[in-house]
Amino acid sequence: MTNVSDSELSSTAPRQLGRLRMLDTRRVNLDGFVVPNPELGLVAMASPYDPQPSLVIRDGRIVEMDGKAEADFDSLDDFIATRGIDLGVAEEAMAMSDLAIARAAVDPAIPRSEVVRIVAGITPAKLAQVVALLKPVEMLMAITKMRVRRTPSIQAHVTNQLDDPLLLAADAAMAVAYGFRELETTVPVLADAPSNAVALLIGSQVGVPGALTQCSIEEALELRLGLRGLTTYAETVSLYGTEQTFTDGDDTPWSKALLASAYASRGLKMRVTSGGGAEVLMGAAERCSMLYLESRCVSLARAIGTQGVQNGGIDGAAMVASVPDGMRELLAENLMVMMRDLESCSGNDSLISESDIRRSAHTTPLLLAGSDYIFSGYGSISSYDNTFASSNFNGEDIDDYFVLQRDWGVDGGLKNRTAEDLEAVRRRAAKATQAVYRDLGLAVYDDERVEEVVYANDSRDLSAGDPRAVLEAANAIEGRQLSVIDIIASLARTGYAEEAANVMAMMRERLKGDHLQTAAIYDESMNVMSKITDPNDYSGPGTGYEMSASRRHEIDDIRQARSLAELVTDQKPHEGHIKVTEVGPAEVGTNPREVCIGVSPAFAKTVWLSLSGLTIGEVLRQISAGLEEEGCTVRYVRVPGTIDLGAIGLITARLSGSGIGIGLQGKGTALIQRRDLTPLANLELFSIAPLVTAKMYRQLGQNAARHAKGMSPAAILGLGTDEAIAARYHARAVALVNLDREACEPDRGPVTIEVQR
Amino acid sequence: MNDRLSVEAAVEGRLHLDDLRMDPATLGFQADQAQADGNDQLGENLRRAAELVLIPDEELMALYEALRPHRSTASELSELAQSLVQRGAPRCAELVTEAARTYERRGLLR
C-alpha cells in the first residue's frame, strides 16, 4: 500500500460541483429509482402489452374479455367473467368512452350510485384505462365522491419485537384512545400469534368499546383464531394479478371466495389485500402494467364478494414508487376499489421512501381527500417495534399527523389525548392483561413489569424478562383452545367488568351482522357506520362529510398550542433585572458623537427577555459597550407612541446628536437608522432576533458608532441558518409585539430614560 | 336472541362457542340488504356464508384446504360438491364445481 498525499489526490480526482456533492448526501438519494421495463412489468400505468378492453357476451355469458377468447381465459379471467361483471349493464358500460366514465367519476353532479352502476359492467382493462386518464387532483375529487363511507377512519399497526402481551395491550389501548378503529397485529414468531391476538383483544376494549382487531398470519391459522372469536376481522387474504403469482400464493380465486364466506359465516368482517408491485417482485408480471394487474385484483375482489380491499401502498409500494407515475398509480389503486363500490383500506402501510418529503407526498393526498381508512396500518408504535416493517407514518410521526389534520382542517381520524389519559389506559390495559394471563394460567407478570410497560416508548425500554413466557402462553391458548368466552369470563373474574362487558358487546353485535356490510366500523358507542348506515353523499361543495364542532375542537386542540399569555410566561422571572426611569421629554441632542438607543413601549415594563434568550439588560449592555468602544456617547430614550421599529429607529435617529440612532424592540429586533432616511430604508437590521448573539449586538453598537463618525461599518456575519426560524419563533414574536401594543401610548412623545443594572 | 349472551353466563360457564354461531337467517337478511344496495357479489358471499354456518370448524378448514391449488383431484372435488348439495349448501357446491372445471383446464388439480 502506498501513501498518496492529499495534494496528489486533489490534483488527479475530478472536481465535483459542490452543490451535487451536497445533493448526493440527501436522503432521497438512498431511494432506488429504475428506468421502466415493460418486459418485467416494471411500469406503473400503461404497458404496451396491456390488453385493450373488450367484452363479448353470447347467450348470457362472456365469451371474450379484454382481447382474450373464453378458451384462453386463465383462472383469474374465468372467475371475473363468471362472477365479477354485471351483465345487465355491461353492454351499455363498455360502449361508453373511457373519458366519459372518467369524467363521471369526477363530476359532482353525477351521483356516486350512477358511477358505481356503470363501473360494475366494465372489464379490468377498461377500469385501468379510465383511472389512468385522471390527473392527480381529479383523482382526489373522485376519491372524495367515490369512497364508500361518509366518515373517514384509520387503522393502526400494534406490534412489538418481543410479542410482549402487556406492551401490546397497552399500545392497543393507546391506539384506541388516539382514535384508531381497527388494530392489526402480527408476529415475528408465528407460534406467538394466539397470545398476540388475546393481548390485542383485551387492550382494544379498554376505555371505549368497538375497535376491531386482527392478527395477520398465514391464512388458515388466521381463520382458526377468528373462529374462536379471538379476532374480529381479517385482512391478510392476499390476491394477486396473474395466475402464476396467485398460485404461488397457494390459493385460487375459488379458495379465496370460500375463505371470504367462511369468515362471514362466523361473523367476522373481512377484506382482501392486493397492491401493485407484488407481481413484479414475485417475477411473474406477464409484461403488464402494475395498474392493469391491480385492476384485475380489484375485479376479483368484487367477484369474490368481499366487502373491501387493502391496496395502494402495501408491501410493494416502494417498488411502484421506483418508476415514473408510481405514486399516482398507488392512488389510482384506491380509487378503483371505491369505483367498484368496495371499502378502501388505503395503504400508506409501508415506508415508501427514506425522504420525509416523499413519504409525506404519498400520504397527504389521501389525508386531504379522506378514505374509509386513510391508512391500512398507521404504525402506532415506534418504527423499531413495527414487526410488519415500518409504516409510511409511525409512532414517531403522530404529532406531525395531528398537526397536519389541524393545518388542513381535515379529519384524519385521530385526536390528541392528555398524558394523564394515555397513562391511565396504558396501565389499565397492562393490568387487565396481567390479570387475565395469571387467571388463565398463561403467564405471570409482576407489577414492576406493568409499570415498565406503562412508561415504555417501545420494547427496547423493557427488561429482558422470561423469553419463553410468550410462547408458553401462546401454546397454552392453543392447546386448551381458549376462546373469546374464556377471555370475557377471566376479565370479569379478575375485576375488569367494563372490559368484559365491552368484549361481550362486540360478540353480541357480531351476531346482528350489520358490520358485514361494506366499510363497516363501530363508532365509540358501538353504532355501526357502513355503506348502509353512513353512506358517502358527497355531491359538490357544501355536501359530504363535515366535522362536528366538537370533532373540530379535538383536531385543533393539540397539546403544543399555546395562548398568547402562555407564550410570554418566560418574561416574568426576569422582571426588574434592570431598572428604567423616565427623566423627561427627549430633546434633540447636540453632541455629534452622541448615538441614541430608542426602546419600544413595553421594554423593561412587561418585556424582559429577548427571543435569543439574552435578557434585555444584556442586549442593551452589549450595544452600549460597542458604541463606547468606538468613542461614542450613549443616550437612552423610550418611544412610547409606536410599536413600529422603523418609526422607533427614525424618531431615535432624529433625537441623536450624531443623527444616527438604534431602534430596539424588547424581543431583540434591532436596527441602525439615520435621521434623513425614510422609515423602512434603515442602514442595518437584525430582523432575525432569535439568532442574534451578544457579540453581534456589540458589533451593531460598533457599526452605529462608525456610521456616526462617517466611517464604513464592518460586516456582521453569523445570521445564516437552516432552522425554520419563522415556525419556531413567530408565535412568540407576535405575543411579545402584543405586549408592546398593550403598553403603547400613541399620544406620548419620546422620553429620555435612565437605565440602572 | 341475545339474552343468553351475558358476562354472567360466561363466568358461570354456561356459554359455549356454539352460542356465538351466526344465524343463517341473519346472514340472509344481510345478503338481501347488500343486494338491494347494489352489490350482488357481496350478497352472494353472505348467502354462501349462511350455508356454511352449520358446518363445523374443522370441516370448514378442510373445505378451504380442498380448494387450494393442487390439493384435490377432479373426482374429489366432484364428491365434495355432491356432499355440499346434500348438506344444503348448493351455492358452495356450485363454487366447487366451477373450480373443478377451471382447475382441470388450467392444471390446478392434484
For the stretch A652-685, pLDDT in tens is 999 999 999 999 999 999 999 999 999 888 999 9
Asked if A275 and A333 count as a contact pair (C-beta separation under 8 A), the reply is yes
Q: Where are the domains of chain A?
A: 51-149+237-308+315-370, 153-234+375-511, 566-756
Kindly state whether residues B62 and B103 are assigned to the same domain.
yes
Q: Residues A576-596: pLDDT tens digits? A: 999 999 999 999 999 999 999
What pLDDT score does A3 carry?
A: 53
Name the nearest CA neighbour of B64 among A282, A234, A471, A189: A234
In degrees, rounded to 5, the angle at the alpha carbon of residue A731 between the alpha carbons of residues A729 and A734 is: 105
A512 touches B at CB < 8 Å: yes
Chain B CA closest to residue A500: B7
- B45 lies in the same domain as B67: no
Within 8 A of A79 by CB-CB distance, chain B residues are 102
Cell of A169: 395491550
Q: Please, what is the Cα angle at A315 between A313 and A321, to 5 degrees?
A: 55
CA distance B101 to chain A (A): 10
Buried b (16+ CB within 10 A) or exposed e, A58-84: eeeebebbbeeeeeebbbbbbbbbbbb
Catalytic, A155? Answer yes
Which cell numbers in the block locate residue B97?
364445481
Give CA–CA dist A436/A197, Å, rounded.
13
CA triplet A196, A200, A202: central angle to 5 degrees?
A: 120
Largest CA distance in chain B: 55
Which residues is A684 bridged to in the sheet?
A: A672
The distance of A437 to chain B (nearest Cα, Å) reads 16
Q: What is the distance in angstroms between the Cα of B87 and the nearest Cα belonging to chain A?
A: 15
Q: How far apart are CA A293 and CA A125, in angstroms?
A: 9
Look at residue B78 in the predicted model and tell me its pLDDT. Answer: 98
Residue type, A545: Y
**Of A247, A261, A500, which has the smallest distance from its Cβ to B45's Cβ?**
A261
The distance of Cα A655 from the centroid of its chain, to the nearest Å, equals 55
The model carries a pTM of 0.94
Nearest to A135 by CA among A290, A327, A357, A361: A327
Q: Which of B11, B39, B51 lies at the smallest CB-CB distance from A492?
A: B11
Fold agreement (A51-149+237-308+315-370, A566-756): no
Res. A38: pLDDT tops 80 = yes
DSSP H or E stretch at residue A609: none
Q: Say whether residue A508 is in contact with chain B using an 8 A CB cutoff.
A: yes
**For chain A, percent of residues with pLDDT exceeding 90:** 92
Q: Note which residues in 107-166 of chain A have CB less than 8 A from chain B.
A: 113, 116-117, 120
Q: Using a CB-CB distance cutoff of 8 angstroms, which residues of chain B are in contact with residue A493?
A: 11
Same domain, B77 and B29: no
Of A259, A266, A504, the CB nearest to B5: A504
Q: Is the pLDDT of residue A610 over 80?
A: yes
Average pLDDT over residues A280-306: 97
**pLDDT value, residue B3:** 67
Give yes or no for a contact between A229 and A202, defined as CB atoms under 8 angstroms apart: no
Query: With a cut of 0.90, is the ipTM above it?
Result: yes
Query: Which pLDDT band, with edges at 50, 70 and 90, does A11 fall under?
Result: low
A9 pLDDT above the threshold of 90: no
- More confident of the two residues A45 and A14: A45
**Are the Cβ atoms of A504 and B6 closer than 8 angstroms?**
yes
Check whether B2 has a pLDDT greater than 80.
Answer: no
Is the pLDDT at B11 greater than 90? The verdict is yes
Q: Say yes or no to pLDDT of A535 above 80.
A: yes
Do B106 and B62 belong together in one domain?
yes
* pLDDT of residue B1 exceeding 50: no
B104 and B87, same domain (yes or no): yes
Chain B CB within 8 Å of residue A222 CB:
no
Gap between the Cα atoms of A541 and A199, Å rounded: 44
Q: In degrees, to the nearest 5, what angle opens at C-alpha A705 toward C-alphas A699 and A710?
A: 125
| Structural domain span for residue B44 | 1-54
pLDDT range class, residue A236, cuts 50, 70, 90: confident
What does R_g of chain A's alpha carbons equal in angstroms? Answer: 33
- Predicted pLDDT at A13: 79
The string of DSSP letters for A259-306 reads HHHHHHHTT-EE-EE--TTHHHHTT--TT--HHHHHHHHHHHHHHHT-
3 state DSSP class of A377: strand
Active site residue A600: no
Q: Which residues of B touch A528 (CB under 8 A)?
A: none
Q: Do B7 and B43 fall within a single domain?
A: yes
- Other CB atoms within a 10 A radius of the CB of residue A135 amount to 10
pLDDT band at A220 (very low <50, low <70, confident <90, very high): confident
Q: Are A300 and A76 contacting, i.e. CB atoms less than 8 angstroms apart?
A: yes
Give residue A597's pLDDT.
Answer: 98
Q: Which of A47, A129, A153, A155 is catalytic?
A: A155
- In a 3-state reduction of DSSP, which class is residue A187? coil
Are B45 and B61 contained in the same domain?
no
A466-481, pLDDT tens digit by residue?
Answer: 889 999 999 999 999 9
Q: Which of B4, B20, B21 to mutate to test the interface with A (most CBs of A within 10 A)?
A: B20
Check which CATH number belongs to the domain holding B64 and give it: 1.10.1510.20
Residues B110 and B74 in one domain: yes
Burial A393-423 (b: 16+ CB within 10 A, else e): bbbebbeebbebbbeeebbbbbbbbeeeebe
Contacts of B10 in chain A (CB under 8 A): 485, 488-489, 492, 500, 504
Work out the burial of residue A681: count CB atoms within 10 Å of its CB; fewer than 13 is exposed, 13-18 middle, 19 or more buried: exposed
Regarding whether B65 and B48 lie in a shared domain, the answer is no
- Homologous superfamily of domain range A153-234+375-511: Diol/glycerol dehydratase, large subunit (3.20.20.350)
- The predicted-structure confidence for A372-383, as pLDDT tens digits, reads as follows 999 999 999 999
Section A80-99 average pLDDT: 98
Q: What is the mean pLDDT of chain A?
A: 95
Would the CB atoms of B42 and A512 count as touching at under 8 Å? Answer: no
Q: Where are the alpha helices (DSSP H) in A13-60?
A: 18-24
Q: Indicate if the alpha-carbon torsion angle A614, A617, A623, A626 is positive or negative.
A: negative
* H/E stretch holding B103: helix B90-106
Is A235 considered catalytic here?
yes
Rounded CA-CA distance A353/A365 in Å is 16
Chain B partners within 8 Å of A532 (Cβ): 33, 37
* C-alpha to C-alpha distance for A599 and A648, rounded to whole angstroms: 7
Q: What's the grid cell of residue A302? A: 368484487
Q: What are phi and psi of A165, to 5 degrees?
A: -65, -35
Closest residue in B to A74 (Cα) is B106
pLDDT in the model for residue A407: 98
Distance of residue B82 Cα from the nearest chain A Cα, in angstroms:
16
Same domain, B49 and B74: no
Interfacial A residues in 55-94 facing B (CB < 8 Å) = 74-75, 78-79, 82-84, 86
* Residue A14 pLDDT grade (very low, low, confident, very high; cuts 50, 70, 90): confident
Cell numbers given for A626? 460597542
Q: Cβ A220–B2 below 8 Å, yes or no?
A: no
Tens-place pLDDT, residues A334-380: 999 999 999 999 999 999 999 999 999 999 999 999 999 999 999 99
- Tell me the sheet residues that pair with A636: A597, A753
Retrieve residue A597's grid coordinates.
Answer: 438607543
Q: Confidence band (pLDDT; 50, 70, 90) for A1?
A: very low
Q: Which residue from A179, A510, A534, A521 is spatially nearest to A345, judged by alpha carbons?
A: A521
Contact B10/A514, CB-based, under 8 Å? no
* Least trusted range by pLDDT, from A19-28, A170-179, A217-226, A528-537: A217-226
Distance of CA A641 to the CA centre of its chain: 46
Q: What's the rounded mean pLDDT across residues A155-182?
A: 98
| Mean pLDDT value of segment A694-721 | 92
φ, ψ dihedrals at A290, nearest 5°: -60, -35
Topology, domain A51-149+237-308+315-370:
TIM Barrel (3.20.20)
Could you say which of B10, B34, B37 has the minimum Cβ distance to residue A492? Answer: B10
Co-location of B94 and B47 in the same domain: no
Question: How far, in Å, CA of A207 to CA of A425, rounded?
Answer: 6
pLDDT of A271? 97
Mean pLDDT, rounded, for B76-88? 97
CATH class of A566-756: alpha beta
Clarify whether residues B36 and B46 are in a common domain: yes
Residue B67: pLDDT over 80: yes
Return all residues near A622 (Cβ < 8 A) that are at least 6 apart: A614, A694, A695, A697, A698, A701
Q: Both ends of chain A: CA-CA distance in Å?
A: 66
Of A79, A86, A87, nearest to A116 by C-alpha is: A86
What is the number of structural domains in chain B?
Answer: 2
pLDDT, average across residues B101-106: 98
Tally of CA atoms within 13 A in the half-sphere of A330 that contains its CB: 33
Contact A261 B22 (CB under 8 A): no
